Amino acid sequence: MPPTVRDAQVSARAPRRAFRRKARAIRHELGHTPSKFKPELKMLITSSTVAFLLGTKAYLGIRIWYKRKFTTSKKTSSQSTAIDKLLIALVVLGQVILPLLAIFSPLLRLADYASYPIAAIPGAAVMIFGVWLFWRSHSDLGKNWSVSLELESEHQLITAGVYRYVRHPMYASFFVMALAQLLLVHNWLAGPAAFLAVSLLYYVRRPSEEAMLTEHFGAAYAQYLATTGGVFPLLRS
């Protein structure tokens, strides 16, 4: 029998139905399994990942270089405790280990979420600023820097460079890089991990650090405390 008008209409609708089924399948996939992206989305997520990895590599490179350069300095005062070491370990976990697990391992995949390409741009910009501030904090401190709560035998009070504006620019750089991590690591666990760990480190460690410096430098540090902010510059009238 020759095809009828109805047969022709059904044949014409078939490609559209197939397209709609395909579209529904893609929406379902993106909505329920965010670790499986279409090629264009996967490329954009990778750009965020690359920005995070490059920033983290630069941050670790700066830390390792300064640690090797100044570990031979003689220390005369130390308040490093088991709690202090635990806090540092938590920061390493939040800044490095969990993000790397989220990127390279399926262990945290249930916490993945989809993002958009625009997030990579501000995320990379924030990461660059955070790494620069981290480097500048080390550079301005020179041999006065220590990863633990320690004072060097000829320790100096540094109030120039970025220390002119805030007392703890290194902690500030951690907070900035933690913000970048939120933008670049699209995982509900690994994304905010650095911010939580750095916040705990700062609020537990800062009082002991400032008390040690006040005892060592006396009135000079007390005046410095009164004229600078902790991690944010003071607003002056």
CA distances to 19, 125, 142, 222 from 102, rounded to whole Å, are: 33, 21, 34, 43
pLDDT-above-90 percentage for the chain: 46
Residues 46 and 149 grouped into a single domain: yes
- Where in the sequence is the domain holding 144, given as residue range(s)? 39-227
Instruction: Phi first, then psi: give them for residue 153, nearest 5 degrees.
Output: -60, -35
Residues 45 and 25 grouped into a single domain: no
What is the residue-averaged pLDDT of the chain? 81
What pLDDT is stored for residue 43 in this prediction?
A: 42
Measured CA to CA, the distance from residue 101 to residue 103 in angstroms comes to: 5
> Is the confidence at residue 72, as pLDDT, over 90?
no
Least confident among 2-6, 7-11, 35-39, 96-100: 35-39
Residues 100 and 8 grouped into a single domain: no
Residues 83 and 156 grouped into a single domain: yes
Residues 44 and 10 grouped into a single domain: no
Residues 221 and 132 grouped into a single domain: yes
CATH number at residue 111: 1.20.120.1630
**Tens-digit pLDDT profile for residues 150-194:** 776 678 888 899 999 999 999 999 999 999 999 999 999 999 999
Q: Per-residue confidence at 36, pLDDT binned at 50, 70, 90? A: very low
Residues 89 and 167 grouped into a single domain: yes
Q: How many domains does the chain have?
A: 2
Measured CA to CA, the distance from residue 133 to residue 174 in angstroms comes to: 9
Q: Per-residue confidence at 130, pLDDT binned at 50, 70, 90? A: very high
Beta bridge partners of 75: 152
Residues 65 and 114 grouped into a single domain: yes
